[in-house]
Chain A
Amino acid sequence: MSGVSIIQDCPLKWTLSAQVTVDAAQQASSAAKVGKIEISIAEQDGTTIVRHALLGQSGESPVECVLTGHEAKSYSLSAQAEDGKWGTPAPFKVSLVRGQAQTVSLELESRAAHGVIDALNADEILEPGDVLIKFEGQSSTFAEKVIKAGEKAVKALSGFFHEGIKKGDPTCFHVALYMGEGRTAEAYGGMTTALVGTRVIDAHAGFLFRIYRCQDRALAESAVKVAKTWANERMKYLPPVLVPFQLASFGPKARGEALVFGQESGREGGPRSFAKMFCSQFVIAVYQAASVARQLQKSPRMISTDVQMPGGLDLHATNSSPLALHARLEGAPTDWKYIDEVLVRPQHDANAGRSVLVEPGRDVTGDLQPLGNPTEKRWPSGEWIYARNPWSLRAFEGKIYVGSGNSNNPPPAANAGPVDLWALDAASGKFPDKPEFEVPDEQVDVFRLLSDGLWIPGHDSKVTGRNDGRVTGEGKVKRLLRQGKTLWNFLSDWDAGNAHHKAPGSDWKTWRTITNGIHVYDLIDYDGALFAAIATVLGGQVARSRNRGESWDEFLTKPLPFSRSRTLFVLDDDTGPRLYVSTNGGRVYRYDGDNPFVEMRVNFFPGISDVKEVFAARPTAFRKQVVYIAGRQIIDHDWAPLGLFAAPSPDSARAVPLPGGALARDLLVHDDVLYALASTQPSARSTRVHVFSTRDLKTFTELCFFDAGTFARSFEMLDGDFYFGMGCDPELLHPHTGRISKLPAAALG
């Protein structure tokens, strides 16, 4: 018998067919080939069926029957290209009854356009060699602020120096070269960690760029080659504090320098005589190198006076600020074309392409009650703002405990401990005059509510006393004394790791008993014992205490220094509850009672290709699964969220992107409901904070949202009221960091 069906289908069924279309003109104008398309057919209970489609030359896919059934049903259909670059703007709802045949047409829109770019779609707007001029946003790094201050001064004095500078915009403060495939080459970073290298354009999330395109395409391609050769992180970053006050004209020194650039255009790591460069210097230099290298091919013996430079690049690279470069590019329209102003898409879930849209929740922006900023007095401004991050909020005995501090070794706000533990009295909505406890650690990162009370893992031991001299300002001598003392003290600080405990009705008690536990990241109850996720000089370890912290046994997880056991969670399998630990490197280990822990060969972060610095942050038990945020290490211990995931077992992890691709930042469970705190950035200058809820991890509802100057890093719920702690990233210090707000239950209706 053949495989071809001869008997017709039952006419009493309903059938649902779908076709995907894309506007042919839009497709033609986009560099993106749509490719395979995923059609998601979601039932009301959240069950989702996936079908696939492919477009024909007309921009339409063949109509395909995607589902049949007998019972009346309603579905919500959405479609998107597998690479996430095309998608339906909103789900299409359809109801089906017996005997009915319905065909749904799903029109895809490009998600690239409208001036919002990210690493995925950047190639649709940008071309390799494009010069990207970054403009002032609401927040900037410390280094960027220094540059901007200088730019404004130069602008005011430009009549004395350079008329052309008046064409420039003093709010421009950073320059990068686009390399293609979503990456830039640039001199970047903070004041101490910066270097000349390449990075993903998403690193500029939330900022505006003006794009200038070199009309000599061959020169642009050559410049990209030079940038690839030079930007290998050999050269460090040169803070250009004095640069704007020097002459940028293309005089004899500039020509000599350009000749060197050309001669060394192929040298790995950049010209030998340059150990450092700043952002605009680097971009000008690679273009000048490409241009001069071309001239050298024709005239190998040329001297500096022979050097010719195309319009827009006739600058002394070493003396040219971003403002000067911007002015030159603006003044050379035949050589450089202004393309567009783009916003780099703010961070979103790594699997945002698979997210759905839901009805917006209640706008509670006007209902938030500010409760104060308890850490602002100690860390009032500058880099110390970072230490105000309320890393976690936790309710206990009618109070809301607030995490803060910073245990990173590099700035901003390096090693900020010991930490003042502030506890809000929820009934009065007020913070007390004094902190409840001084935590002898650099940072209070998480609180764990365990069987015998509230615990704080000792993030980075700081038992050698308090010294806020760096915050209030210190002279050279005092700084040297402090640095010397720090070197001496670190042995004491590293001697043992801490666990801080508050039993109900008791005071805080510190157990300084975890041998060599430099970092204690997490604590959990398991099998009648207390377990701690720690990092020691040996690497990632887990410590076990059978007497609630008095003494500990230590087990190895991920060996070698800088390996870290970050979080602990428990999942059931056939044998009962099992303890797991998430380490950096995206790894998961299981406790079988033996030393070392057993490594699970699993992909715990599907959709994230580079898990080198990733671990499962905020693991939260929910409906026999662990729900967690993929966190990527930013500096030392802090992390940036990449996406939300869930796993009933380590080998069946799946992405759970929040509606609209919102970036999850914190999780909590109350009364069998999982709440996710998340944020999006509708524009360069605003952040929207969302609270989503779910009972089944399939369907999320947006409970509420509010607009703020920065994102909320943590939240807590007590008696139906929500509490939010506003945070910031190290590159985007925000003055609202540390603010605690309350959303009364009544505001949610």
Chain B
Amino acid sequence: MRLWTIRTEQLAALQGMLELQLADRAAAYVRGEYPATCAALDEPTIRGSVQTALAKGATYRFESEETLFAYLDLMYLLGFDFDLNPRRAWVRATLNDFDLGARTRLLLLVEQARAREGRANGSEPA
């Protein structure tokens, strides 16, 4: 029996298309979760934040859509450069603790960030 072969170029094209769709969903997510913050930002900045989060996936070893959105939550709760901000040092211990799975690290950080910011249920920072 002859198997179908998917060429590398075809895979890359598929990946690119899915990435675009993911970026669209991520941008929609932050607009829905953090409307006030997004109202003050232009579209390229929002898109840029999503690209930043996508790129951080390799550094902080998260892969799923859920963890990408969690990383965006952290960016919108703690600041876009929260992972480098010396005032957010408490984040780094957990973020870089690769003994823990990505879901554990990011979901718990979001929980802590919301508790620290005193804004439960995903309400955005002032």
Contact = CB atoms under 8 A, between A and B. Distances in A.
Contacts of A63: 103
B15 A52 contact: no
24 contacts: A1-B19, A2-B19, A2-B57, A2-B58, A3-B54, A4-B22, A4-B54, A5-B64, A6-B19, A7-B18, A36-B99, A51-B101, A52-B100, A52-B101, A52-B104, A53-B101, A53-B104, A54-B100, A54-B104, A56-B107, A57-B111, A62-B101, A62-B104, A63-B103
B16 to A, nearest CB: 9
A409 to B, nearest CB: 48
B18 A64 contact: no
Interface in A44-95: 51-54, 56-57, 61-66
B103 A4 contact: no
A53 B111 CA distance: 15
Interface string B31-64: 0000000000000000000010011111101111
A5 B67 CA distance: 11
Contacts of B81: none
Interface in B85-125: 94, 99-101, 103-104, 107-108, 111, 115
A4 B22 CA distance: 10
B99 A4 contact: no
A222 B18 CA distance: 67
B68 interface: yes
Contacts of A56: 107-108, 111
A4 B101 contact: no
B108 A54 contact: yes
Q: Give 3 nearest A-B pairs by CB, closest first.
A: A3-B57, A3-B58, A2-B54
Nearest to A18: B101
A3 B56 contact: yes
Given A1-B15, A3-B63, A6-B19, A52 B57 contact: no
A53 B57 contact: no
Contacts of B56: 3
Contacts of A65: 101, 103
Given A53-B100, A62-B104, A64-B101, A2 B111 contact: no
Contacts, number: 66
A1 B18 CA distance: 12
A5 B15 CA distance: 9
Interface of B: 15, 18-19, 22, 51, 54-59, 61-65, 68, 94, 99-101, 103-104, 107-108, 111, 115
Nearest to B60: A3
Given A7-B18, A64-B104, 6 more contacts: A4-B64, A4-B65, A51-B101, A56-B111, A62-B103, A62-B104
Contacts of A54: 94, 100, 104, 108
B55 A3 contact: yes
A4 B115 contact: no
Contacts of A5: 63-64
A64 B67 CA distance: 12
- In this complex, the member of A7, A54, A63 whose beta carbon has the largest number of chain B beta carbons within 10 angstroms is A54
A65 B100 CA distance: 11
B61 A3 contact: yes
Given A4-B62, A6-B22, A62 B107 contact: yes
B9 to A, nearest CB: 14
A2 B108 contact: no
Contacts of B111: 56-57
B104 A61 contact: yes
A57 B55 CA distance: 29
A6 B65 CA distance: 8
B103 A64 contact: yes
A56 B113 CA distance: 12
- In this complex, the member of A2, A4, A51, A62 whose beta carbon has the largest number of chain B beta carbons within 10 angstroms is A4
- In this complex, the member of A6, A7, A56, A63 whose beta carbon has the largest number of chain B beta carbons within 10 angstroms is A6
Interface in A168-186: none
A6 B15 contact: yes
Contacts of B57: 2-4
B62 A3 contact: yes
Nearest to A50: B99
A52 B22 CA distance: 29
Contacts of A53: 100-101, 104
- In this complex, the member of A1, A2, A5 whose beta carbon has the largest number of chain B beta carbons within 10 angstroms is A2
A578 to B, nearest CB: 35
A299 to B, nearest CB: 49
Given A61-B104, A62-B107, A6 B115 contact: no
A4 B21 CA distance: 13
Contacts of A64: 101, 103-104
Nearest to A57: B111
Contacts of A1: 15, 19
- In this complex, the member of A54, A62, A64, A66 whose beta carbon has the largest number of chain B beta carbons within 10 angstroms is A62
B105 to A, nearest CB: 8
A86 to B, nearest CB: 17
- In this complex, the member of B57, B101, B103, B107 whose beta carbon has the largest number of chain A beta carbons within 10 angstroms is B101
A65 B62 CA distance: 13
Nearest to A66: B101
A709 B101 CA distance: 48
Interface string A1-20: 11111110000000000000
A338 B68 CA distance: 54
Contacts of B101: 51-53, 62, 64-66
- In this complex, the member of B65, B68, B99, B111 whose beta carbon has the largest number of chain A beta carbons within 10 angstroms is B99
Contacts of B51: 2
B119 to A, nearest CB: 15
Nearest to B71: A4
A7 B65 CA distance: 11
Contact of B99 (A7, A52, A61, A66): A52
B7 to A, nearest CB: 15
A36 B108 CA distance: 13
Contacts of B55: 2-3
Given A3-B55, A3-B56, A62 B64 contact: no
Nearest to A61: B104
Nearest to B26: A4
Contacts of B94: 54
A222 B15 CA distance: 68
Contacts of A36: 99-100
Contacts of B99: 36, 52
Interface string A630-648: 0000000000000000000
A66 B51 CA distance: 28
Nearest to A52: B99
A594 B29 CA distance: 71
Contacts of B100: 36, 52-54
Contacts of A57: 111, 115
A5 B108 CA distance: 21
Contacts of B59: 3
A9 to B, nearest CB: 10
A64 B99 CA distance: 12
A4 B19 CA distance: 9
Nearest to B115: A57
B51 to A, nearest CB: 8
Contacts of A52: 99-101, 104
B18 A6 contact: yes
Contacts of B115: 57
Contacts of B61: 3
A41 to B, nearest CB: 13
- In this complex, the member of A3, A5, A53, A57 whose beta carbon has the largest number of chain B beta carbons within 10 angstroms is A3
Contacts of B65: 4
